[in-house]
Amino acid sequence: MKTILVTGGSGLVGNAIKTVSHDYKFNFIFLNSKMCNLLDYSETETFFNKTKPHYVIHLAANVGGLFKNMNQKVQMLEDNLNINSNVLKCSHKYNVEKLIACLSTCIFPDKTGYPINESMLHNGPPHDSNDSYAYSKRILDIQCKSYNSQYNTNFVTIIPTNIYGPFDNFNLDDSHVLPALIHKCYLSKRDLVPFVIKGSGKPLRQFIYSTDLAKLIMKILISDIKESLILSPNEEYSIKEISESIAKEFDYTNDLIFDSSFSDGQYRKQVNNSRLLELFPDFNFTPLQTGIYETINWFNKNYSSTRK
């Protein structure tokens, strides 16, 4: 039985892959930082030598929301450059048959036309609020293509939009917008205080449920696909609409406040998923309200142990 190594195996997407792994006849290794420090090449090389994976799904990264990206630029850049270099170097050394490397739609150029497609990734600088993280992920795309060109490897990059779901990081300061809003609304209802959202609520975003992403990753892994792919539903939602949907699930809809003294970040990041739909025309995305319901249900049940 062939082995799939999932870096970042204890995170949001790693856990989602775990939930669908029973549908596939592979030996899965879900790697976390306690098992191996991917910032250290020697540790990484030793782990690859021990496990000798046939496939790698590379999810591990130093990630966070808008304010972490703004406040920890050096760590976001250097950690991700080191992690990515170590994983790709070892994947090549140990003859990994196929590697899927996870990027993000937030790394596309700030000044661009919409909708964004895969060819536009390097057409201009990213928004300055997340430039360090964005450039580290753009380099990962270049690294994968460079290995493929020089060594005939099969390293593929995927570009998911905003991911959410169970096992997310719900930290109020460092997490992405949707899980942060879930935690904030939970606390607001618990403490009977206004649900205050940072920013105007006007920016638009697309979201993909983590289980949907896990299913797409596995489809790409076992296929002959070698091109970069944007992974996203079509629909866009404003932060205001997301906040109202979360408040509705908590039954706490009467006291929402948008604090415009905080930065909105990039206003829009609409992506084009037409290539994805050409390849997988029958794929059904989880409706946003369903995904929010499932995520909040999981969060409520696991509040004491979840990342926050």
Distance CA(225)–CA(218), nearest Å, equals 11
> Does the pLDDT value for residue 161 go beyond 80?
yes
> Does the pLDDT value for residue 253 go beyond 90?
no
Distance CA(276)–CA(273), nearest Å, equals 5
Work out the average pLDDT over 267-277. Answer: 91
pLDDT value of position 175: 77
Asked whether the beta carbons of 60 and 38 are under 8 A apart, the reply is yes
256-267 pLDDT, tens digit per residue, is: 899 988 877 778
Catalytic residue check, 114: no
Helix extents (H) in the chain: 12-20, 41-51, 66-71, 73-93, 131-151, 177-191, 210-221, 239-250, 274-279, 288-301
59-113 pLDDT, tens digit per residue, is: 999 877 666 767 778 888 999 999 999 999 999 999 999 999 999 988 999 888 8
> Does the pLDDT value for residue 160 go beyond 70?
yes
Tokens encoding 263: 């930065």
Show me where the domains of the chain are located.
3-164+206-231
Distance CA(84)–CA(181), nearest Å, equals 30
Catalytic residue chosen out of the listed positions 24, 41, 94, 133:
133
Angle at Cα 274 formed by Cα 231 and Cα 11, nearest 5°? 5
User: Is the entire prediction scored with pTM above 0.85?
Assistant: yes
CATH superfamily of 3-164+206-231: NAD(P)-binding Rossmann-like Domain (3.40.50.720)
> Does the pLDDT value for residue 285 go beyond 90?
yes
Neighbouring-strand partners of residue 36: none
Going by pLDDT thresholds of 50, 70 and 90, the confidence category of residue 213 is very high
Going by pLDDT thresholds of 50, 70 and 90, the confidence category of residue 308 is confident
> Does the pLDDT value for residue 207 go beyond 90?
yes
